[in-house]
Amino acid sequence: MKPEAQRIVYPLLMAAVLLALWQGLVVGFDIPPFLVPSPVRVAQTLVVDAALLFGALVNTLKITLFSFAAATVIGVLIAFAFVQSRVIEVALFPYAVLLQVTPIVAIAPLIIIWVKDPTASLVICATLVALFPIIANTTLGLRSVNPGLMSYFKLNRATRLQTLLRLRIPSALPYFFGGLRISSGLALIGAVVAEFVAGTGGTGTGLAYQILQAGYQLNIPRMFAALLLITVTGVLLFGLMSVLSKWALGGWHESEHIHD
């Protein structure tokens, strides 16, 4: 089997084995669904509650994508500023770290109080979570220029703009895409966490809200179904970023080659 196929087939086989085991255990020991629902029961819930759950998914996804986009744009702009001037970087970098290490659950209530619009407040929270990897990776990438090529550009009297467009940005792309992959997942986590904190006071329609509600009602199968949707969304986002990265790097970078 080709290594590419292996990467897809083996995890799927593993999933089938685990699901069968899970189903067998739940049925065999007659475990009630409010403790652990069987995979079949979760699937049924997903179909029965489709309108509710997928509606919630769309809302969570909306927050995720908005904040992911915002984090990407803001992160890249900050990285450019850092690379253009040492002073800016030295002055601001500690605050970027500060932002990163402060748990979002701790700041979220404040943001939710300050920002009237519930959607905006959630987007701000999730953006804060997703921002740092983009800043850090893009800055590192813009600085990781082959010194020989840098000398070559200097020797040919390249302008600052030419060096940026033809050398720094292409050199930064692999790092930038690495940042995107991490941030896509973080944006989703940020959106869910912010929804949790906002709770019923927020928009009240996202997946996290559904999990909270299902918890109050001891509707464990629905909880699992919502959880499944969040996980699948995260995996799909990561996959999408990987495909995008492969497409953009077009096979020139070492990271896009499978070594056997």
Partner 1 sequence: MSEIPAVEVLSAEKTYPNGTRALMPVDLTVREGEFVTLLGPSGCGKSTLLKMVAGLLAPSDGRLLLWRKPVDQVQATGRALSFVFQEATLMPWARVQANVRLPLDLAGVPRAEADARVAESLAMVGLDKFAGNLPRELSGGMQMRVSIARGLVTQPTLLLMDEPFGALDEITRNRLDSDLLELWGAKKLTVVFVTHSIYEAVYLSQRVVVMAARPGRIVDEVAIAQPYPRGPEFRVSTAFSQYAKRLQDSLLRASGTHADEALA
Candidates 116, 156, 258, 260: give the one binding partner 1 (CB under 8 A): 156
**Residues in contact with partner 1, shown as a per-residue x/- string from 220 to 249 under the rule CB under 8 A:** -----------------------------x
Would you say 119 or 163 has its CB closer to partner 1? 163
Decide: is 7 part of the binding site for partner 1 (CB under 8 A): no
Q: Rounded to an integer, what distance in angstroms lies between the CA atom of residue 246 and that of residue 51?
A: 35
**CA torsion through residues 169, 175, 178, 182, sign:** negative
88 class by beta-carbon count within 10 Å (0-12 exposed, 13-18 middle, 19+ buried)? middle
Decide: is 142 part of the binding site for partner 1 (CB under 8 A): no
Would you say 63 or 172 has its CB closer to partner 1? 172
Cα atoms in the 13 Å half-sphere on the side-chain side of 128? 21
Candidates 102, 151, 217, 231: give the one binding partner 1 (CB under 8 A): 151
Decide: is 94 part of the binding site for partner 1 (CB under 8 A): no
Coil/strand/helix, residue 83: helix
Nearest CA to 134 among 209, 82, 207, 201?
Answer: 82
Decide: is 5 part of the binding site for partner 1 (CB under 8 A): no
> What 8-state DSSP symbol labels residue 254?
G
Would you say 168 or 222 has its CB closer to partner 1? 168
Whether residue 183 contacts residue 72, with contact meaning beta carbons closer than 8 Å, is answered with yes
Candidates 117, 152, 199, 218: give the one binding partner 1 (CB under 8 A): 152
**Percent composition of the chain: helix, strand, coil (DSSP 3-state, to 5):** 85, 0, 15
Decide: is 92 part of the binding site for partner 1 (CB under 8 A): no
Decide: is 28 part of the binding site for partner 1 (CB under 8 A): no
Decide: is 35 part of the binding site for partner 1 (CB under 8 A): no
Contacts with partner 1 by CB under 8 A lie at: 146, 148-149, 151-158, 162, 166-167, 170, 173, 249-253
